[in-house]
Amino acid sequence: MSAEPTQIEIPDEPGAGTEGESPYKNLFVPLVVVPALIVMVLVIVFSLFGAIAGTEDSPRENLDDLLTGGVNERQQASFNLVRQILEYEHAKAEGREPEWGIDEAFLPRLRSARESLPPMEGPRDVATPFVLSSLLAQIGDPTGVEQLVELTDLPESLDPTGEFRVYATFTLGAIGGDLAESERLLAARTLIGLLDDPDEGVVLTATAGLQNLPSPETLAALRGMLASRRVDHRLQAALSLTALGDASGVDVLNELIQEAPYLAEHEENPAMWAPQRVSESRRKALEGLIELGQPPPPAQLELLAEEDPDPSVREAARGILARGSDG
């Protein structure tokens, strides 16, 4: 499984957006570290279908309901099936006895279910293929990865808001560390190709996902994003490079410790950079510099610790100074 989860927001109801930042659709991607897949997929499925109270069937029964049931049955089955398979994988990774008996025959059954779906003809037809492809990819099936790659390029007629393109991009990044080399390289090439996408949410999600997809082209692609006109893209590129052990983004991280760049972009676009987002991002920039072993000079940290208007940033700076004095 991937690293410890960070933050993902679940909208108040399926289809709701977040904070006016339309490129992010139902899914808010914090400015670093892809969350653990078991959390990410459950959140996506929740945002697509919701969770409905009721009895819980076996994985095979849920798969059957997902394909043949009514609307409510498909919703419940999708949520339960995702949770069951991901909990099964999580238990195996931790050496625990899985709660669900998903045997070797289940993968062909899941693959067959995905192949049996009719062609997508409209937006309502996309959710089930996405769920099944995500599960196939998570349990190591190359076909699922290939299908997710195709879903990153959905036409507007099938994905008018672009949300499924974001979901597919996010999933490829989230599972990157668990992919076999050929699938990892395919996912890396796909996300690198999305860095020029007109959808800013897709670009941010691809920039985040590349931290889990090292390839011969990944570092160069992320370094190119350091010059983006958008603050969030520059910061995410610097943080993704940091996660890959590359210090090319140090100057950007130092720039984005400060409040001014966020305020300037907020002035141009009031839908961006609510105070909480600014605070989180500045602290992430500080953490990135610490991870690289290149913290700001003590005088700058002292200024942040004593005079910064953000109490969270003051606390973070004080913590870094305290660790430095202890060392």
pLDDT digits (tens, 9 = 90+) for 231-249: 999 999 999 999 999 999 9
Q: How far apart are CA 176 and CA 1, in angstroms?
A: 10
Q: How far apart are CA 296 and CA 289, in angstroms?
A: 8
The conformational region for residue 274 under phi > 0 = left, psi -120 to 50 = alpha, else beta, is: beta
Q: Which pLDDT belongs to residue 40?
A: 55
Q: Which pLDDT belongs to residue 98?
A: 79
pLDDT for 327 beyond 80: no
Q: Which pLDDT belongs to residue 92?
A: 77
Q: Which pLDDT belongs to residue 25?
A: 39
Percent of the chain residues topping a pLDDT of 70: 81
- Residue 69: pLDDT band by 50, 70, 90 thresholds? confident
Q: Of 238, 235, 182, 167, which Cα lies nearest the Cα of 213?
A: 182
pLDDT for 53 beyond 60: no
> Is the separation of the CB atoms in 149 and 190 below 8 Å?
yes
